[in-house]
Amino acid sequence: MKDSLHRPMPDTNAWPAYNLAWNDNTSGPADVSHLLHRPAGRYGFVKVIDGHLAFAEGRRFRIWGQHLCNSGPLPPKHLAPVIARRMAKFGINCVRMHAIDLHWPEGILMRDTECSCSLDPEGLERLDWMIACLKEHGIYVDLNLHVARTFSAADGVKQAESVGWGKPEIYFDQQLILLQKEYARELLHHRNPFTNLRYADEPAVALIEITNENSLTERWRNGDLKDGFTGMKSNWGAVHAVYTGDLNRRWNDWLVNKYSGREAMLAAWAGDAKPDEDPVSGTVCRLNPEDFAGANAKRFHDEALFYSDIERAFFQEMRSYLRDELGAPQLILGNSDHNYSWSSLPVVAANTLLDITDSHFYWQHPDNGTVKNTPMADEPDRSVIAHLSRGAVEGYPHICTEINEPCPNDYAAEFIPVVAAYARLQDWDGIFFYEYLTWKGSYSKAESWSEQKQRTWFDMANNPVKMAQTAFGALMFLRGDAQCAHQTVKREMTLSWLLESIRQAGDREHPYWLPYLPGRTALTHRVRIAELNGSRISPSEGEVIVSQNDIISDTGELVWQTSPDNGRVLIDTPRHQVIIGRAGENATSNCIFRLTTQFAALQLASTDDLPVALTGRLLLAVCARVANTGQTWADDSRTKPADWGHAPVRIEPVEGSVILRGLSAARSVTIYPLDGNGQPGDSIRLAETGEGFFFCIKDCIPTPWYLVQVER
């Protein structure tokens, strides 16, 4: 694509600085905290009713969430109320407490000890106070149990130096399972002195996650379970021989339980075994990825089921422990569909033993320090919505606990409005953006919170565009500005097809692993898995017809235009309208956007429940690129940052005009630029033309958002 070639280097230092106050506690026209109910837990524990998150009386609960990672949930106590209030102001109603299973000051495990079996009093007190502050402001919590805990020999873990975070050993090693249970007991039976509730009794804890991005089947497919490795590994690398030896023994026991002996196994596998392979003798080898293509289908399926059985047994054991022994009624999530180089269907199937399904996806996740830096708008079949939709199962709430379009990206302004609108189309239950502040910052120190720059790829708290859009997205997703799809594409598969998908090469434009069902299906209809162990493959070829040109949702509100190298997204609902794309003219019912800047995203939303055409007060966002001062690229392909720069953050001034039209009985329209606290500046009264009320963007001081007042 032309956008991936050489592009002129922008002089980002010439862009205006825009200070988005990290400690903003003001109210104002852009404050959407009214969308949250206070305190969190007011209506009791979050439940599953009719396949969705809800409260006991039937009220739906949707999550517009964020991450606090590592020491993020452990700020100095005087800052916790400030941070919670600021998050609420932007409509964030749930925080994923992620990777807090580290030693203080990076997490809540006991400091200055190799053992990871006890919690640090200071770390725990800070977590308690943060959760109490979040609860007060209407923000729920998703507690993650196993994420980044580094196991040690002092924990009684064999070959601990090779285990790291225990991926995937935590599924089958009994000592590691015991350690996870002990950690869960320590945390969930701890009484928060600021709420006087144990976490197992806390309705503001909406979700409990067992493990993060961790699949035994995936590691088999990736070749990490090969025999013979005895060295050190990264947290994602090869598994030590002492653990693969355990798998070998379990594999042969599994075969004996299924077939009793070699002859029955050979008959099932059509003779696909070496002469010395006998399960009774414990000599049947496990397949490596290079063996997959030539393996008999039944042999391959058996081994896939073996790993799946281990995962499922682990989830059942942990669910029983959390619910029955610890008495925790919160909804439980096992793992996430997170790797798009394979079908991940065994991950999805294992999650159906619990309460919720979950997907992760990043548009152009950085790879070895580089990003592709092209717009998602040009690739609808590979879009975030297409990939996140593949793990949704009928009858289960579906949430997406890690998503983002990492910065720096010339087109990142497209991401949040697309997600908010299409997540409503899909009728998903929750979105968590990754992340509020970067992983592994020293947030137990006060000065780390006031550093006004984007530290790295995923930071959002100091990104003026993404935070302004977060508030607009809360209106779209929590208020329900876009309709849910009228039709559902129900996916059915046989168990054999599901297992075969593990060794089949995928196509990123066909995330459902069917060559005739492209990703754009999720931009048109609701998509759900109806059957993971059915009698047929559905939909069949030709059963679902999707446009090869402009993709229009079955509600008629969302349009994804697919011109080559010029993709655009138009969202036209009564209360919320969006235009995303390159320079040119586009229009919705109440807005004409004439853009001369390279790429931008416009949003226009009423601040009340009235339609744009009838309300007296609107919010307008016009957003393009963001950069730190001094931020540079390695070269003019703009795929690899050379220097992340420093504060202050700068925004690209958007050039063009906006015409507001169809505002019923409007006598005058006045626009106010909003500062980093969402407070209005000097007013500009818009001139009325034959087309509507005209706004030249450069007539205002540069800002990503505005207040619009309509007098009638």
200-248 per-position pLDDT tens digit? 999 999 999 999 999 999 999 999 999 998 887 668 889 999 999 999 9
The answer to whether residue 675 sits within a structural domain is yes
In a domain, 570, yes or no: yes
More confident residue, 354 or 161: 354
Percent of all residues in the chain with a pLDDT value above 90, rounded to a whole number: 94
Could you tell me if residue 511 is inside a domain? yes
**Distant-in-sequence contacts of 487-490, Cβ < 8 A, 24+ apart:** 487/525, 487/526, 487/554, 488/394, 488/525, 488/526, 488/527, 488/528, 489/517, 489/521, 489/525, 489/526, 489/527, 489/528, 489/539, 489/544, 490/394, 490/528, 490/529, 490/530, 490/538, 490/539
Same domain flag for 581 and 706: yes
690: pLDDT strictly greater than 90: yes
Cis upstream peptide for 648 (omega within 30°): yes
The pLDDT tens digits for 366-411 are: 998 899 999 999 999 999 999 999 999 999 999 999 999 998 999 9
Give 2's pLDDT tier (boundaries 50, 70, 90).
very low
Task: Answer whether residue 5 shows pLDDT above 70.
Answer: no
| CA separation for the pair 513, 509 (Å, rounded) | 9
Question: Do residue 640 and residue 525 come from a single domain?
Answer: no
pTM for the predicted model, two decimal places: 0.97
| Same domain flag for 614 and 645 | yes
Looking at the structure, tell me whether residues 571 and 698 fall in a common domain: yes
Same domain for 622 and 532, yes or no, is no
How far apart CA 616 and CA 30 sit, in angstroms, is: 14
Which of 510, 526, 547 is the C-terminal boundary of a domain? 547
Do 508 and 588 lie in one domain? The reply is no
Q: Of 547, 576, 595, at which residue does a domain stop?
A: 547
Domain end marker among 547, 566, 586: 547
Q: At what angle do helices 241-259 and 297-320 cross, to 10 degrees?
A: 110
- Check whether residue 566 and residue 704 sit in a common domain: yes
pLDDT digits (tens, 9 = 90+) for 155-205: 999 999 999 999 999 999 999 999 999 999 999 999 999 999 999 999 999
- Considering the domain architecture, whether residues 601 and 497 belong to the same structural domain is answered as no
Mean pLDDT of 1-27: 84
SS (H, E, C) 322-338: HHHHCCCCCEEECCCEC
Query: Quick one: 574 and 687 in the same domain?
Result: yes
Mean pLDDT of 346-365: 97
Is 563 found in the same domain as 499?
A: no
Q: Which residues, including other chains, have CB under 8 Å from residue 468's CB and lie 6 or more apart? A: 30, 621, 623, 704, 705
Strand, helix or coil for residue 86: helix
Looking at the fold, whether 705 and 592 belong to one and the same domain comes out as yes
* Residue 439 pLDDT > 60: yes
Q: Mean pLDDT, to the nearest integer, of 680-699? A: 97
Q: What is residue 638's predicted lDDT score, i.e. its pLDDT?
A: 92
What is the spatial distance between Cα 397 and Cα 427, in angstroms, rounded to a whole number? 9
Structural domains in the chain (count): 2
How confident is the model at residue 601, as a pLDDT? Answer: 98
**β-sheet bridge partners, residue 69:** 98
Q: What is the pLDDT of residue 1?
A: 41
What DSSP assignment string belongs to 690-705? Answer: SSSEEEEGGGSPS-SE
Is the pLDDT at 363 greater than 70? The verdict is yes
| pLDDT value of residue 368 | 87
Per-residue 3-state assignment (H helix, E strand, C coil) for 245-305: HHHHHHHHHHHHHHHCCHHHHHHHCCCCCCCCCCHHHCCCCCCCHHHCCCCCHHHHHHHHH
Spatial separation of the C-alpha atoms in residues 153 and 420, rounded to whole Å? 45
- Here the tokens at position 251 are 């594999």
pLDDT digit string (tens) for 108-165? 999 999 999 999 999 999 999 999 999 999 999 999 999 999 999 999 999 999 999 9
Q: How far apart are CA 430 and CA 401, in angstroms?
A: 8
**What are the structure tokens assigned to 535, written together?**
């009698």
Nearest to 519 by CA among 483, 473, 560: 560
Confirm if 375 and 363 have CB atoms less than 8 A apart: no
> What is the pLDDT, as a whole number, of residue 230?
85
Looking at the domain assignment, is residue 35 inside a domain?
A: no
Does residue 275 belong to any structural domain of this protein?
Answer: no
pLDDT for position 354: 98
Q: Report yes or no on 609 lying in a domain.
A: yes
The average pLDDT across 668-691 equals: 97
What does pLDDT average to over the chain? 96
Residue 200 maps to a domain: no
Flag whether 552 is in a domain: no
Say yes or no: 535 and 583 in one domain.
no
> What is the mean pLDDT of the segment spanning 271-281?
97
Expressed in angstroms, the distance from the first to the final Cα of the chain is 48
The pair of structure tokens assigned to 324 is: 């029955």
Average pLDDT over residues 642-648: 95
Q: Residues 473, 467: contact at Cβ < 8 Å?
A: no
- What residues form DSSP beta bridges with 588? 591
Q: At residue 485, does pLDDT exceed 50?
A: yes
4 pLDDT exceeds 60?
no
Residue range of the domain that includes 630: 558-711
Question: What pLDDT, on the 0 to 100 scale, is given for residue 327?
Answer: 98
Strand 140-146 to strand 205-211: parallel, antiparallel, or no bridges (unpaired)?
Answer: parallel
Residues 6+ apart with CB under 8 A from 313: none
